[in-house]
Amino acid sequence: MSKEQNWKPVIDKFNSKLANWKARSISYGGRLTLVKSVLSSLPLYYFSLFRAPLSVIKNLESIRRNFFWVGTGECSKLSWVKWDEGLLPYEDGGLNIGSLSGKNLALLGKWFWRAKIEPKTLWVLIKSVMIEKMDIKFASSFSKIIGDGSDTRFWEDPWVCGLLVREVFLKNRLTPIKVAIFIWRALKRRIPVRIELDKRGIDLDSVRCPLCDDDVETIEHTLIFCRHAMDIWVRVYKWWGLGTVSNLSIDEIFRGKCNRSLSPLWSSIWQAIEWTCGYLIWKNRNQKVFSDSSWSGPTGLMEIQLKSFEWISNRLKNRKLDWLGWISKPWSCLV
């Protein structure tokens, strides 16, 4: 299976799946789910037996990338984040998609692992020769884990590259995937504000903020420092009885650096509020740009209260939110 033409059935499967999906009408969250659950699983049989040529891996990754960003197998718009970054695990700032090359090697590595625990079986002699011909250095990828982890605090000890898990884990399970993807892009400064479009050579009439016209439209300005956005943040913080937001950065808000003193549940709820706020501020900006309409401060706050209540209520396990408490005394709304 070293020749590219032998992999044509796999590539054809990818393209046939795309032909049956009306992906342009699917949100980024829906596309991400399809990329992970369908496009990533199609080549598994071949990957578990043969090492795919680099050209095949590049072709398949190109199809997945274009589907995620555009909705088709052909690219016709900007990819705002490098695909390699999206493949990374959540804790490394990615979308946990996983690379096809890595999956191929992992599935082949399974045979190496089984050879270590079943050394006397006949298939070991046959498959080991095949693995040796692939020239893959599996031995350095395996190690023994000593201990049962009983003396390690999962959330509190810095056991992931010297960092706390709660600091590096991006995904919030109380918001839709589309919101997590937006926050991921915002933290990487990869959303199409005017200054970023201008850097990429797209001709615009102006790079100033379309809402306030007070400053250049950067990501920080759009999501926090625009007076329309700041008005929303002030109202949200007042709703929760918190202090000022004026000196906070995107990283401090969206990475949850301001809510470390909260319990895990309340920390997740508050982070979901902040993510919802950022996501809806961006949607409001787009309504202004494309439809010349936008909401005012009170209307924006109500939209955030409604959406966050809906998303969190649908995802909380074993607890419920009381609506009247949610809008009046949110710290006392859990029932």
Higher pLDDT, 18 or 12: 12
Give the C-alpha separation, 33 to 129, whole Å: 37
Q: What confidence score (pLDDT) does residue 221 get?
A: 95
Residue 335, CA distances (Å) to 43, 270, 273 in order? 46, 17, 18
DSSP SS3 for 172: coil
Cα angle value 292/297/299 (rounded, 5°): 80
Pair 255, 167: CB distance under 8 Å: yes
pLDDT at residue 276 greater than cutoff 90 = yes
pLDDT on residue 124: 63
Neighbours of 252 (CB within 10 A): 14
Cα R_g (the chain), whole angstroms: 24
Backbone angles phi and psi of 216, in degrees to 5: -65, 140
Cα separation, 118 vs 116, whole angstroms: 6
Residue 206 has pLDDT above 90, yes or no: yes
The tokens for 247 are 């000196």
Confidence (pLDDT) at 169: 46
Task: Give residue-wise pLDDT tens across range 153-190.
Answer: 554 544 444 444 454 445 678 999 899 889 989 998 88
> What are the pLDDT digits (tens) for 31-45?
888 888 887 788 888
Q: Which of 1, 44, 240, 9 is nearest to 130 (CA)?
A: 1
| Cα(24)–Cα(262) distance, integer angstroms | 40
Quote the tokens at residue 299. 């209307």
Q: H-type helices in 188-260, by residue range?
A: 194-199, 219-220, 227-239, 250-254
Q: Which of 61-65, 93-97, 260-264, 286-290 has the lowest mean pLDDT?
A: 260-264
Specify the pTM: 0.67
What mean pLDDT is predicted for residues 73-89?
A: 78
Q: pLDDT digits over 221-230, tens only?
A: 999 999 999 9
**Per-residue pLDDT at 273 exceeds 90:** yes
What was the pLDDT predicted at 255? 84
Contact partners, residue 11, CB within 8 Å, separation at least 6 = 56, 59, 60, 63
| Residues contacting 77, CB < 8 A, separation 6+ | 69, 70
Q: How many CB atoms lie within 10 A of CB 96?
A: 15
Q: At what angle do helices 100-117 and 54-69 cross, to 10 degrees?
A: 130
Higher pLDDT, 78 or 37: 37
